[in-house]
Structures are given as structure tokens and as C-alpha cells.
Amino acid sequence: MKLKTIREAKKLKGARVLLRVDFNVPLKDGKVVDDSRIRASLPTIEFLRKAGAKIILLSHLGRPKGKIVDELRLDPVARKLGEILKCKIKKTDDCVGSEVEKIVEKLEEGDVLLLENTRFHPEEKENNSEFVKQLAKLGDLFVNDAFGVAHRAHASSFGIAEFLPAAAGFLLEKETSELARVFENPAKPLVLVLGGAKIDTKIGVLKKFSELANTILLGGGIANTFLAAEGFEVGESLREPDKADLAREILNLANSHGCEFVLPEDVVCVDSNEELSNQPKTFAFRADAIPPNMKILDIGETTARRFSEIIKKAGMVVWNGPVGLFEIKLFEAGTKAIAQACAETSATTILGGGDTIAALKKFKIPAKKFTHISTGGGAMLEFLEGQELPGIQILKN
Ligand code: ADP
Ligand code: MG
């Protein structure tokens, strides 16, 4: 099934276009500290402006839990977007209601209006049909560019598409086609690098790649769970003991598909009684010789070198999740090595995850060094599991 896109949309001139974007950006002291997500939707916004549409932007921001939270208002986002587009962005204090309708009525061709945080209404996440109707009556056409919430069937990202003609924006289209490369005869070897704190959201990807990939490289807290499941002492490291059976199941699955599953062979630890803020002494151990009082906080040098070599010889690399506590300099080396190997390899590189992207920023590695950096964390993972995401599914013919 093919995705309907704005390129095929007819009669954009003068049309009220409800454009769902993912402007869930980090704020500090009322200012946007990272505008990447805003910039990611510029091609769609500019296309619609040139076509003479009246653009009505919808987004969520943070987790207001269905209530008005002043710190999560979208005004700083409107200011930032105005700076980038060099034009005045109109902004309302709600996303539905008669006041909003009046402002929408006065919009002219090429105008850009940003509605208030959709998650101030509990009905947003519930995909409440009355709320959806209130949103839908503001527009003639719905365009979804919010890949970051494509895995959620919420009112503003999914529900509206049932009430209005709907199409994908350029960002959603690009994310979909770039990530789909994993399933479309990828250059081999296909390598998955997976890190991060917890296994929960990554089980599906691990299972899928156990079938698809030639190699899986594991680091981070997740790797500790696997090391422990394999009978290694991991001391006081972050791990999920109740996931040991699952870890063994995944190892068996990979084995039965001929996928090489690589766990860290050495690690960087600290004494678990040390305060991390006090620049504690670090210790390097082989993974089969970790003392019980220790806490693993990064992959070791040998592991980092081995992972890097595998990445450099790959045909395609998919990376999600830092392989150590990279936020603290003492434990950033592993993640930095992975990031550099991904930047240097000739393989196609597909990266994503909020903390993974934060790590790239910290190491000052420019985005152009990678084939594709996904704007979706959870959405990317679910897409790579091979799941149909509701927000995308509903835009297909
Ligand atoms: P992403 O947002 O890229 O998907 P996750 O949210 O899954 O990544 O995980 C990132 C977090 O995992 C980071 O905050 C990092 O510090 C943490 N982490 C990685 N390795 C370890 C470890 N060995 N011990 C504790 N935390 C870890
Ligand atoms: Mg994260």
C-alpha cells in the first residue's frame, strides 16, 4: 500500500490545512534549546506556504497529563518558528473552541497558526471522537508530519485522518522510506547496535533483528541483563533480573537464524558505593571477572574496538541506545567510539532515540555523517519491529 503525500494533494491554494507536527522540543527558561524537530518539518511547512495554504499547526509538548501546564505552552516554539521562517506566527491559547475557530476564519493564504499543546486535553490521548470532530472542523485537509507519534492512535495524529482527507508530509514520508530500507534487501552485513537502560521497548526490535540481521552488538544496561542471563556476575549493575528468560529466548532465536550476537567482553566499572558525582576511580574488567561490589557503566576498550571494526565492515548499521552512561565523561568512551565508527563507516547508517541523538550532539558529530537520523524514538523502534504504525497506516490508500 502506498502512502498518500501532500505532493498529490489537490487544491491547496486557500485550503485550511491542519498540519500535525512533532514540536515536542526541549525547553529551558522559556526558550527552545534544540530546534532540530522544528527544522525537520520546514520542508512541509514551506511547501504548503508556497502553495498558498492556510497552515494550522498542531503539536503536543511534554507530558501535561490532560491539564493546562503553563511551562508546556507552545509560545516559545511559535517564537522560534517565527525566527526560522522570518514571519509572524499566530498562536492560540487552546487547540479547539470558538475563539480558535474565529482566528482560523480570519487566516489568509500563506499564514501560519500554531494551536496550543494538544495534550492539555485528556481527550487527545483517548482519541475522543467529539474532540476529534472539534479539531477536524478547523481544516479542509489533514497532513501528518509527526513521525515521533506515528505509533500512537491519538486524536491529533490519527483520529482526524478519519474525518478529513489526509496525507503525509515530507518528514513522515522520508522517515518511512529511509527506515523501510532495513526490510528492502539491505546491504549486508546488516548490523544492529543496541544499548540503553531498559529492555522493555526494545524486545520487539531484538526479536526482529535476530531474524534479519547478520550481527547484533549489545551494550548499555540491556547488555547487563544478557550477561547475567548467561551466568556472568554483574555485581550492582543496572539490570532486569525478571527478563533473564526473555534474554535467553532472544539469544536462542538469534542462534537459530545464524545471527551473531555479541555481548561486551570487557567493561568499565565503578565501586557501587561511590558517588558518581565525585569523579570515582574506574576499573576495567573482563566480562567474566566482575567483582560483586562493582557497577558496569560502559563497555570496555576491547569491546569498543571490536564493535567499531564490525560497524566499519557493515553494509547497513542500525543504532539505537547509548552503550554506557555517556552523560558522565568517565563513561562516554564506548558510546563515542560507536558514534565515530558510525560516522566513518561506508555503510548505510540509520540512527535514532532521544538519548542517542543527545550523545551525537555531545560529541559534536554532525548529522550529515549519517545516512538517516530518525526523529522518532519509540516510533522508530516500533517501525523497525515490522509493525504497522497507526498514524502511517491510516494515510495509506
Ligand atoms: P534512547 O533514548 O537513545 O532510545 P535509552 O532511553 O534506551 O536510549 O537509554 C539511554 C540511557 O541509558 C542513557 O541515559 C544512558 O546513560 C543509560 N545507560 C546506558 N548504559 C548504561 C549502564 N551501563 N548503566 C546505567 N545506565 C546506562
Ligand atoms: Mg531515552
- Which pLDDT tens digit goes with each residue over 260-290? 999 999 999 999 999 998 899 999 999 999 9
Stretch 219-233: mean pLDDT: 96
Three-state SS annotation for the chain = CCECEHHHCCCCCCCEEEEECCCCCCEECCEECCCHHHHHCHHHHHHHHHCCCEEEEECCCCCCCCCCCHHHCCHHHHHHHHHHHCCCCEECCCCCCHHHHHHHHCCCCCCEEECCCHHHCHHHHHCCHHHHHHHHCCCCEEEECCHHHCCCCCCCCCHHHHCCCEEECHHHHHHHHHHHCCCCCCCCCEEEEECCCCCHHHHHHHHHHHHHCCEEEECHHHHHHHHHHCCCCCCCCCCCHHHHHHHHHHHHHHHHCCCEEECCCEEEEEECCCCHHHCCCCEEEECCCCCCCEEEEEECHHHHHHHHHHHHCCCEEEEECCCCCCCCHHHCHHHHHHHHHHHHCCCEEEEECHHHHHHHHHCCCCHHHCCEECCCCHHHHHHHCCCCCHHHHCCEC
In the prediction, which pLDDT does 2 show?
82
Fold of 6-171: Rossmann fold (3.40.50)
306 is catalytic: no
Domain with CATH 3.40.50.1260 in the chain: 6-171, 178-385
Mean pLDDT of the chain: 96
In the prediction, which pLDDT does 99 show?
97
Ligand 1: atom nearest CA of 354 is 2
198 is catalytic: yes
Ligand 1: atom nearest CA of 219 is 20
Q: Is the pLDDT of residue 61 over 90?
A: yes
Give ligand 1 pocket residues (Cβ under 6 A). 195-197, 220-221, 238, 296-297, 320-322, 324-327, 353-356, 377
Stretch 80-108: mean pLDDT: 97
- Which pLDDT tens digit goes with each residue over 365-394? 999 999 999 999 999 999 999 999 999 999
235 is catalytic: no
In the prediction, which pLDDT does 397 show?
65
Stretch 223-243: mean pLDDT: 95
In the prediction, which pLDDT does 48 show?
98
Ligand 1: atom nearest CA of 325 is 16
CATH top-level class of 178-385: alpha beta
> Which of 296, 355, 362, 382 for a ligand 1 pocket mutation test, highest count of atoms within 8 Å of Cβ?
355
- Which pLDDT tens digit goes with each residue over 181-210? 999 989 999 999 999 998 988 999 999 999
28 is catalytic: no
